[in-house]
Amino acid sequence: MINYNQQMENLINNLSGTPTLLLHSCCGPCSTAVITRLKNHFDITVFYYNPCLYPNSEYEKRLNEQIKFINKLNEEEGRNIKIVVPPFNPQSFYDAVKQVENFDKLKEGGQRCYACYLQRLTATAKYAKQNGFNYFCTTLSVSPYKHSSWLNEIGLKLQTELNTNFLVADFKKKDGYKLSQTLSRQYDLYRQNYCGCAYSYADMQNYLKNLENKS
């Protein structure tokens, strides 16, 4: 089994200077632990690209929490972490996952999620390449519900295809998810109770309904 966390630490220990990093972020809470871990080693720009989010109000809520965290951290520590927010285009997510058979019936963690990872990481890699970033990466692996092996497989494939450096990582290691929970409370961030897409939203609603029926 590949230890992506150790690979990342080895790379960080051999860095020269402070390279630029385009960090795809799924939400403010997940970004807390990742940025905390990387902020002393990279010049970070957050790439908030999440066309999967449903409904539109959830997209805005998570974006606002992301901006709130970055602003607070910059103010507290005198940093200059930046954020890039591409146009929100939910239809592009549906177009991407429709390539997966029975995409609307799959549970979280299956091939529909792989297609979503691929879409978001591809956009991140292309922006990193076009804008001269030294590395690109994603916060997604901080979640225990996300496949770090898939994320790193996709990232390394894009590294080869686009000739841009991917920072391998598994941010759930070293209690990354637990740290994100602690930091979210510290910065008073809204923590969502579903992954983000319409399908995970429906699963969450069904789960809550079943709990209600049992009580």
pLDDT in tens, 141-179: 999 999 999 999 999 999 999 999 999 999 999 999 999
- CA angle at residue 23 from 22 to 29, to 5 degrees? 155
91-150 per-position pLDDT tens digit: 999 999 998 988 878 888 899 999 999 999 999 999 999 999 999 999 999 999 999 999
**Model-level pTM?**
0.96
Determine contact, residues 24/137, Cβ cutoff 8 Å: yes
Q: What is the pLDDT of residue 1?
A: 84
Q: Which residues contact 211 (CB under 8 A, 6 or more apart)?
A: none
Q: What are phi and psi of 105, to 5 degrees?
A: -110, -5
Q: Report how far residue 103's alpha carbon sits from residue 95's, in angstroms, rounded to the nearest whole number.
A: 11
Greatest mean pLDDT range, 153-157, 196-200, 203-207:
153-157
34-76 per-position pLDDT tens digit: 999 999 999 999 999 999 999 999 999 999 999 999 999 999 9
User: Domains of the chain (ranges plus CATH)?
Assistant: 4-214 (3.40.50.620)
215: pLDDT strictly greater than 70: no
Q: What is the pLDDT of residue 99?
A: 87
- CA angle at residue 56 from 50 to 62, to 5 degrees? 55
Q: Which residues contact 17 (CB under 8 A, 6 or more apart)?
A: none
Q: How many CA atoms lie within 13 A of 21 on its CB side?
A: 26
Determine contact, residues 86/122, Cβ cutoff 8 Å: no
